[in-house]
Structure 1
């Protein structure tokens, strides 16, 4: 038998057709290469963004975390009756007449006694009595005076106090100040740093958590270690209360009317356009508006939470209205039709059916608007909240009209001062502000997941 293939005429060889669907032509290769480049560019952009975020967070944490700790010096202070209550009758009015200068000698005596206890002298480090005093914060005398006024029966006794150390001493144990830099610094000397080391070895000096950063008010330029954000936290809380009480009902009511009840004409179209435009207006413009209306015209006090809350309400309203209208639009029309079909009125269908289903989006938009208002600085600076505020505002409703500060403004105030300790305080305040913002956004996510309905 012969091979049919071999004996037959030469068969045509299979060929690749140019129009085959399996063939990758040059145009397809270029398109695939373009897609790969786009994916690489996208991943590169994400990588740059993540790297920038990591650098930012690392920088804030490295500078701000030390603000939550502070260096303290423990001293046993004898509250000398001959200096604080010469009459011996424990009369509060008489005790209040003793100024902070009258308490400084008591602190100096306690410092000398502590050095004698650990076996060192000022001469060993080349220090004078003034140098010993400067190692302790200037806030110590005021703290001691407040304790005596609150506890007059402690006069004549020896009481242990933890006083704030000077800002340079605190910076030494946090790495901001060194022996070399102390030789060039007029506010601290190497001898004071050496004595601080001796006090730490003796157990009288320690660095630990500082609750005063959250509870104390702002401090002057020469007392950075005593500066806190207590007034700023209360001021921000008061302003958020005003914004929540005004922006939420006004914004939701305006959204319901525009979306469900308002006729479609040129006037409502004009209102909608203006609301969208107001959402894009720079925040400083709202500050100018608040300065003109609430302070110059209405006569409300400057640097008051009520004015800041009103300004932030105006700024937050467009955000709440836009998000609320979007939530109302997301409710299917069948819900409205079904309610109307069983005899419900227009208002009943909106308030009994549509509004409850839109509530997750409304709450989410409100919280996001509040978070945006919490971080605003420019409008608050224009209404005077950048002023130095030492006293805490009183309880509501009087506290809404007392001078106060806000967290973002307090950060700005800290950064304007030359002492490096205030930069540390500014970063710490930024961390607190970011924690508040993250908590508010986390609450918004929980509410959306908890009440969300998928159609």
Structure 2
């Protein structure tokens, strides 16, 4: 090869064969957009997978809580058992403490054709029925004294162990000594099912009963009332205070270091862990003001403090979203600043205010940590009549049931979660409806 060949430059590529730099840049941008869309779809897909897994787990374990196994027994309301001394006419309180379990024990033993002298079989058969029959039968007698001396067919709650066995929550193939239900009891259950005297009915008690150590008589009724009391207090205090503070800061307050400091602190308060508000409520409302522990009033005040920053931030964002031309037009037509705010700006910001308020309430409804610190984890079986009475809340009730060792409480826990999710869904749907109802376009 000659020196001239070595020093010769490579032949140039024709201009028409090379893609323009502009086309390469467009292709790269299109590829980046496709990748970004793929990342977004992947993120949505991951979120949906976890959501479906959550709902599948909760609903799969909790839907059976809406049905409860009940047994029909012919109860003879014997006067010798209910009122052996014959003093009920003068002292009706004796009707509450009568030996009603004895009536049901004899009734179910007779129903199964057992010998009442065989105490072992009678006792084993009586274990099929919940101990709550004392309260149930006492209520029947107190409502109608004429049932004394008669025989009535009564549907009573089955024991939680029987309920779990009927629902297939126990492995009945394992040896008898390793499961909580005996073979003889299983035979009686099949006998009652065949005669139509044992069936699963809609569990109204889940919505009406309070806390109970027996799973079959545990419900969220008392907790729901406590949550409603607290949400009413939060709505009555947090909404007017939060909206008033937002209007002042956004429309009337001078822009200086003090208002900047207040705004920064409001944003910081929205990020404070909820348990800190529980400590604040314990120190201020209970130890300082002397309010009763486990009262819905204290819970409502604590949740109000926690919800206020959220409402203020949402309200200020809604006020900022109103175009400045609305303000200028109102002032130009002679309206005062107060008239401009309350008659023109505030109505236009109402959809955002309502949405932020309902989202704040939904957040407060699901809080547990601050309520635990102010004593709302107490065992409350009776309905609170006022916000000052002892009460609990739905998330706290779920927390308490989750700590129970009995298998039936797992079902109750998931059922209560479904109820709480329904409450949250209703609140969010209400927020959407109100936003669309009051929304105005300009």
TM-score, normalised on structure 1? 0.89
**Would you say how many aligned residue pairs link Structure 1 and Structure 2?**
429
Could you tell me which runs of 5 or more consecutive residues in structure 1 were left unpaired when the two chains were aligned.
1-13
The answer to whether 1:184 aligns with 2:177 is yes
1:89/1:363 CA distance change after superposition, 3 Å: same
- Pairwise CA distance, 1:374: 0.2
Counterpart check, 1:418 vs 2:405: yes
| Residue equivalent to 2:59 | 61
What displacement does 1:86 show? 3.8
Deviation for aligned residue 1:387: 1.4
Partner of 1:107: 104
- Counting only pairs closer than 5 Å after superposition, residues 355-370 of structure 1 correspond to structure 2 as 355-370=346-361
Gaps of 5+ in 2: 1-12
Residue 47 (structure 1) shift: 1.7
Q: Kindly report which structure 2 residues correspond to 1:244-283, keeping only aligned pairs within 5 A, or say none.
A: 244-283=235-274
User: After the TM superposition, which residues 11-410 of structure 1 pair with which residues of structure 2 at under 5 Å, given as runs?
Assistant: 16-17=15-16, 20-21=19-20, 25=24, 33-86=31-84, 88=86, 90-91=88-89, 94-98=91-95, 100=97, 102-116=99-113, 121=114, 128-181=121-174, 183-185=176-178, 187-220=180-213, 223-394=214-385, 399-410=386-397
Q: Cα deviations across residues 411-453 of structure 1 (Å, max 9, x unaligned)?
A: 0000000001101101000000000101100110111112112
Shift of 1:165: 0.3
Cα distance in 2, alignment partners of residues 169 and 435 from structure 1 = 29
Partner of 2:9: none
Query: SS where residue 180 of structure 1 aligns?
Result: coil
Distance 1:181 1:378 in 2: 40
Structure 1 residue 352 displacement after superposition: 1.1
Superposition deviation, residue 382 in structure 1? 0.6
Deviation, 1:22, is 9.1
Q: Residue 256 of structure 1: CA displacement?
A: 0.8
Question: For the Cα contact (< 8 Å) 2:129–2:159, is it kept in 1?
Answer: yes
Question: Cα deviation per residue 1:318-361 (whole Å; 9 max; x = unaligned)?
Answer: 00001111111111122222222222111111111111111111
Cα deviations by residue, 1:236-282 (Å, 9 ceiling, x for unpaired): 00000000000001001111111111111111111111111100101
Q: 1:196 to 1:302 in 2, by over 3 A?
A: same
C-alpha RMSD of the superposition: 2.3
Distance in 1, Cα, partners of 2:391 & 2:263 = 35
Write the deviation string for residues 24-51 of structure 1: whole angstroms up to 9, x where unpaired: 55x7666655544443333222222211
Cα distance change, pair 95–177 in 1 and its aligned pair in 2 (3 A): farther
Structure-1 separation of matches of 2:431 and 2:422: 14
Between the aligned partners of 1:122 and 1:393, the Cα distance in structure 2 is: 45
Contact between 1:182 and 1:188, CA under 8 Å: does it hold in 2? no
Distance 1:154 1:225 in 2: 26
263 and 202 in structure 1: CA distance in 2 versus 1, 3 angstrom threshold? same
**Matched residues in 2 for 1:122 and 1:24: separation?**
95
Q: Give the Cα–Cα distance (whole angstroms) in 2 for the partners of residues 382 and 250 of structure 1.
A: 25
